[in-house]
Chains A and B, each alone.
Chain A
Amino acid sequence: MRALRVGADALLVEVASGEEARALHAELLRRRAEGALTVRELVPAARTVLLDGLRDPARLAAELAAAEVPPAPPPSGAAVEIPVRYDGPDLADVAALWGVTPTAAAGIHADTEFTVAFCGFAPGFGYLTGLPERYDVPRRATPRTAVPAGSVALAGPYTGVYPTASPGGWQLIGRTDAVLWDHARVPAALLSPGTRVRFVAVGPS
């Protein structure tokens, strides 16, 4: 574990894996809930956790260097179910990369339990992990200028759902009507770090 100084009042704590980042994030959330840590933003990512708005980053850096971080507790709470029509324009390409039929590729995806590793890119966009490493896929060589809202997509080790229409380079395997972000709803985000997710295949509409 390495704590890097970020400007005047932030730390970027780097760990060896996504699993360790999840464990560190859980530990920091626990400390904050106990009142032992005062921090404005706690942002988990692929292999880091950013702590922004710290009073004494140097002291926390020294303390974290010596800290034992317990493994992340198993995700609690029911999994969020996201209904998907597996008919995305890149499903055949993804299936070819995996060496299976498009139907089998959809089955692999729907049989996987995912966890939101971190969020970013847009409000409500979660980077979901759960697929074994052999199913990693590259981004598209040329990003699309318009990806429709609700697109279920893959890139690298991650699955994500586009909350709104935007440009994007991920491989589109399906589409959902689930609302990823609604600021009139509490909470506004359907997915937040640590949320368990299952994709449920539904027939063509």
Chain B
Amino acid sequence: MTDRALVVVRAGALTTVQDRGRPGHAHLGVPRSGALDGPAAALVNRLVGNPPGAAVLETTLDGCALRPRAPVTIAVGGAPCPVRVDGRPVAWAAPVRVPADALLEVGAPTRGVRGYVAVSGGIAVEPVLGSRSTDLLSGLGPPALTNGTVLPLGRPGAPHARVDVAPQPAPPAELILRVTVGPRDDWFTPAALRVLTTRAYRVSPAANRIGLRTEGPVLERAVGGELPSEGMVLGAVQVPPDGRPVVFLADHPTTGGYPVIAVVHPSDLPAAAQAAPGTPIRFVRMSDRAGR
């Protein structure tokens, strides 16, 4: 008897279930969450014939290993990495048939950070507020995978795509983040804004799904004291008291009390998901008109 489920043989450093997240609940303190590299998640879904919002696995830095209990089609995308089925190399960024009880190994990325594994039918854990995403900030959705976790799979829909390999953007050697200034740029010195948009920053090893923490020159405040808590958006560049900017990613808090000096354009955030610690960052100022 076949059983549409996936056994997690090796969970890796951090592997979570992600879909397009749960927007619309920020007023209740619920982060939007969802795949950090949304285009990569949508692509692997398309390769296996899933709708773009089906739940996939998001791996971090060292992949994972899985054993489906039924024959499935899988596709691995995002950060490039070796993929093996029962020890034999198979294609990356392409649909691959995996027999029941075979071992699928998603290796450590050769570049980039996050891998995406789509399985035909999608990961069918119970949705919370309309999403199956793991939210690391508030603990909604399924917990991060551990060895031995068994994940239910949905019923496969459309046939998988007929491609040998699907092109994807390479992980960035330098992360360019276009920003619109504000809403709290007036809490900083004019020099701070110049520093942000002209000096070199690097991705900190402390970066995670909540925020891309940075290393680099400190941004100086012009206004002291505390800002009353206010709503925060995806891509907000928040500056905590240590002066080092943090770019808010999918699991960011919905309100916060540190001033936001600028906001990163949403189309630049998928690359941020793939920028390894140490990657140089340049914040580039957009004209207000271009920001719309």
Contacts and interface: CB of A to CB of B under 8 A. Distances in A.
Nearest to B127: A183
Interface residues of A, number: 38
B233 A6 contact: yes
Interface in A29-60: 40-50, 52-53, 57-58
A52 B129 CA distance: 19
A118 B27 contact: yes
A201 interface: no
Interface in B1-46: 23-30
Interface string B222-235: 00000011111101
B266 interface: yes
A197 interface: no
Interface residue SS majority, chain A: strand
Given A7-B235, A124-B29, A192-B27, A12 B183 contact: yes
Contacts of A189: 28-29
A40 B24 contact: yes
Interface string A154-180: 000000000010000000000000000
Contact of B255 (A57, A121, A164, A192): A121
Nearest to B286: A8
Contacts of A6: 182-183, 233, 236, 260, 263
Interface residue SS majority, chain B: loop
Contacts of A88: none
B128 interface: yes
Contacts of B182: 4-6
A48 B265 CA distance: 22
A7 B263 contact: yes
B138 A43 contact: no
A119 B28 contact: yes
B236 to A, nearest CB: 7
Given A8-B180, A183-B129, A46 B228 contact: yes
A121 B253 contact: yes
Interface in A56-95: 57-58
A130 interface: no
A51 to B, nearest CB: 9
A40 B129 CA distance: 15
A49 B231 contact: yes
B233 A52 contact: yes
Contacts of A4: 182-184
A183 B132 CA distance: 12
8 contacts: A40-B24, A50-B230, A119-B29, A123-B140, A183-B128, A189-B29, A192-B27, A193-B27
Interface of A: 4-10, 12, 40-50, 52-53, 57-58, 118-125, 127, 164, 183, 188-189, 192-193
List 3 A-B pairs, minimum CB-CB distance, nearest first.
A50-B231, A7-B263, A120-B255
Given A5-B182, A7-B233, A118-B229, 20 more contacts: A5-B183, A5-B288, A6-B183, A6-B263, A7-B235, A7-B266, A8-B291, A12-B183, A12-B230, A40-B23, A43-B27, A43-B254, A46-B230, A47-B228, A48-B230, A52-B231, A57-B292, A123-B28, A123-B138, A189-B28
